[in-house]
A and B are shown apart, each in its own frame.
Chain A
Amino acid sequence: KNQVEQSPQSLIILEGKNCTLQCNYTVSPFSNLRWYKQDTGRGPVSLTIMTFSENTKSNGRYTATLDADTKQSSLHITASQLSDSASYICVDHGGSQGNLIFGKGTKLSVKP
């Protein structure tokens, strides 16, 4: 079964600290692997999209990495801010239209 598993399920950190979120996926080969940020009550917003050949991509304070051999991805957040509090969702795009497999997300809380 195609799955995307994320860890931890939830995380609390202090403002200014760094953190790393993990994602394991199963669909391979895939078209791309994505990380989304979902604020409470809002739709997911794309942070990064990585193709099979990329192993790192940055978007401001967010850096995603990809290891196609181990089928793992991580999202590193640097110098966290209160506004980073959200769910972070890893998505495996298997290639066909509509075929996005979503993880359940990691709920990040950044405290002052």
Chain B
Amino acid sequence: GAGVSQSPSNKVTEKGKDVELRCDPISGHTALYWYRQRLGQGLEFLIYFQGNSAPDKSGLPSDRFSAERTGESVSTLTIQRTQQEDSAVYLCASGSYYTFGSGTRLTVV
């Protein structure tokens, strides 16, 4: 596609539930990144994919967070047993110039 697409754009979930966030990068981009942006804060790095491999997952805050990428394309960020502190905008970017999607706003109630 023409840009990075993320879905859903908004997600409200109950504490303790699992959520899956999806990122469709720009076609042909082998690099894909996930970031988290809490209200009023800067972006925090979560994980980086090169192809389907994740050489840097140092930013994942706990073992409740995981991500995968298939076909050197779509990536899914999964948060298990969500907590209120997980509430944030989750942003995906692709390519060496870091083209960002519009993000998924996650609210845990």
Contact = CB atoms under 8 A, between A and B. Distances in A.
A55 interface: no
A46 B31 contact: no
Interface residues of A, number: 19
A45 B100 contact: yes
A43 B91 contact: yes
A49 B101 contact: no
Contact of A98 (B4, B45, B105): B45
Interface stretch (B11-19, B48-56, B62-70): B48-56
Nearest to A39: B102
A97 B42 contact: no
B43 interface: yes
Interface residues of B, number: 26
Interface string A68-112: 000000000000000000000100000011111011110000000
Contacts of B43: 44, 89, 100, 102
A43 B45 contact: no
A99 B45 contact: yes
Nearest to B6: A43
Nearest to B103: A43
B100 A43 contact: yes
Interface of B: 4, 31, 33, 35, 40-45, 47-48, 50, 55-56, 59, 91, 93, 97-103, 105
